[in-house]
Amino acid sequence: MTERRLLLVNGPNLNLLGSREPEVYGTSTLDDVVRIAMDAAAARGFEIRAVQSNHEGVLLDAIHDARADCAGIVINPGGLTHTSVVLRDALSGVNLPIAEVHISNVYEREAFRHHSYVADVAAVHVIGEGVEGYATAVRRLIDVIAGVAEG
């Protein structure tokens, strides 16, 4: 492996972390999430390129671009998890290992949140660990990339 970089993708509404439904998502901000992921990656000799957008096409372009210089993708697709075949196809199409992360336990929430279009293309799933789940996802994805864990 030549690239020691991960793409961190945060989908729609995750820019509102810290103020949106703190009883569900906590009070940490998106900047906190990025820092948590960067710290976990740096501890393993990786760096993070982070993108957040409320526009699906921006996320798709970032995922496509990751083919050139990233070893894997950590993604919290937000609501696109449950609705976007296009996002799933982009993740599948880049042929990189994927870690899906969700701050809340989506399986204990509304029924529509129980289905993930990303689940079948992700090697790693971290659900309901709060923002610290991003660090778990980074570490587990790096283990998959390094071949010390199955994806």
Q: Give the active site residues.
A: 25, 102
Q: Is 88 annotated as a binding residue?
A: no
**Annotated binding-site residue? 64:** no
Measuring CA to CA, which residue among 47, 141, 39 is closest to residue 91?
141
Strand order in the sheet with 98-102: 47-52, 5-10, 72-76, 98-102, 124-127
104 is in an annotated binding site: yes
Question: In 3-state terms, what secondary structure has residue 21?
Answer: coil
Q: Is 82 annotated as a binding residue?
A: yes
Does the annotation list 89 as a binding residue? yes
Phi, psi of 54 (to 5 degrees): -95, 5
Q: Tokens 């703190």 belong to which residue?
A: 22
Q: Is the dihedral of CA 51, 31, 40, 11 positive or negative?
A: negative
* Binding-site residue ranges for substrate: 76, 82, 89, 103-104, 113
* Binding-site residue ranges: 76, 82, 89, 103-104, 113
